[in-house]
Amino acid sequence: MKEKIRFREKQKEKGLFIVFEGIDGSGKSTQVELLARRLRRRGLEVVTLREPTQGKWGQKIRELSRTSGSVSPEKELELFISDRKENVARNIKPALVGGKTVILDRYYYSTLAYQGARGLPLEEIRRRHRRFAVVPDLVFILDVPVSTGLRRIKDRPVIYGHFEEKEYLKKVRKIFLSFRDPECLVVDGRPEATAIHRKIWSLLLKKFPRLK
Ligand code: ADP
Ligand code: TYD
């Protein structure tokens, strides 16, 4: 009980920051919702966010990927970074400072994986984020074979052109699996959603036993 109260007090200063990553169709949005629900039942204030955002840069990203198939990787990088800078400053940092738990669907690991797979150097992408991006407490990388991810989203309208090509996504997946950052945990995304959620919950409790 004491633990719980102390945790709530600490939450007033700084909330937990959890990120979900993985290729398209890996089940991120589903797991974000399941985890948010569970943490809310625990009495935490939870904010769920996603990138690309609904802000001006996020809209620009969607617009460009709809209308032109030929955005350079460099231009793509600039757009995702601008969108993220705005998200960190306007949404992520204020929520964390306000003691809220932030669960984010895609972050700079997606830029490393997707723009890295288009040939941009990973070290350069990391360097660009060091100055402004808050490092999450935990990143769950949901891993599924590309064929599984694509099968799950086959009815979704294709608005991101090259982002969903099979060979490209294989490269993206490989980069996701190569991360050695201490906050990154790879989780098998193939079982049914509730089983994955149970696994995620147990990993979260292992790292933050006070959540129990
Ligand atoms: P993402 O956000 O990674 O693109 P979603 O959570 O939107 O993935 O899931 C893509 C589709 O697959 C949705 O129709 C969702 O209901 C379904 N789905 C999610 N998780 C699983 C799972 N573990 N097993 C089977 N289907 C799933
Ligand atoms: P998203 O809307 O999350 O797609 P989905 O719900 O299908 O997973 O992301 C849109 C696309 O943008 C996705 O294919 C991945 C790509 N993307 C990047 O290439 N770089 C980035 O930094 C981010 C955040 C997304």
> How far apart (Å, rounded) are the C-alpha atoms in residues 167 and 84?
26
Q: What is the 3-state secondary structure (H, E, C) of 58-105?
A: HHHHHHHHHHCCCCCHHHHHHHHHHHHHHHHHHHHHHHHHCCCEEEEE
Q: Which of 114, 142, 171 to mutate to test the pocket of ligand 2 (most atoms within 8 A of CB)?
A: 114
The pTM score is: 0.92
* pLDDT score recorded for residue 80: 98
The ligand minimizing its distance to the Cα of 106 is 2
Residue 82: both structure tokens together: 């601008």
Residue 98 amino acid letter: G
Q: In degrees to the nearest 10, what's the CA dihedral of 151, 157, 161, 164?
A: -20
pLDDT at 67: 73
Q: What is the pLDDT of residue 7?
A: 43
Domains defined along the chain, listed by start? 2-207 (3.40.50.300)
Q: What residue type is assigned to position 156 of the chain?
A: R
**Minimum-distance ligand to the CA of 21?**
1
Name which residue sits closest to atom 9 of ligand 2, judged by CA. Answer: 52
In this structure, which residue's CA is closest to atom 5 in ligand 2?
24
Q: Establish whether residue 57 lines the binding site of ligand 2, counting it when its CB lies within 6 angstroms of any ligand atom.
A: no
Per residue of the chain (212 residues), give pLDDT as tens: 444 544 444 433 489 999 999 999 999 999 999 999 999 999 999 999 999 999 999 999 998 887 756 789 999 999 999 999 999 999 999 999 999 999 999 999 999 999 999 999 999 999 999 999 999 999 999 999 999 999 999 887 665 555 558 999 999 999 999 999 999 999 999 999 999 999 999 999 999 999 98
Alpha-carbon torsion 53, 54, 60, 61, what sign?
A: positive
Residue at 138: amino acid letter = L
Please report the pLDDT score of residue 10 as a whole number.
Answer: 42
Give residue 102's pLDDT.
Answer: 98
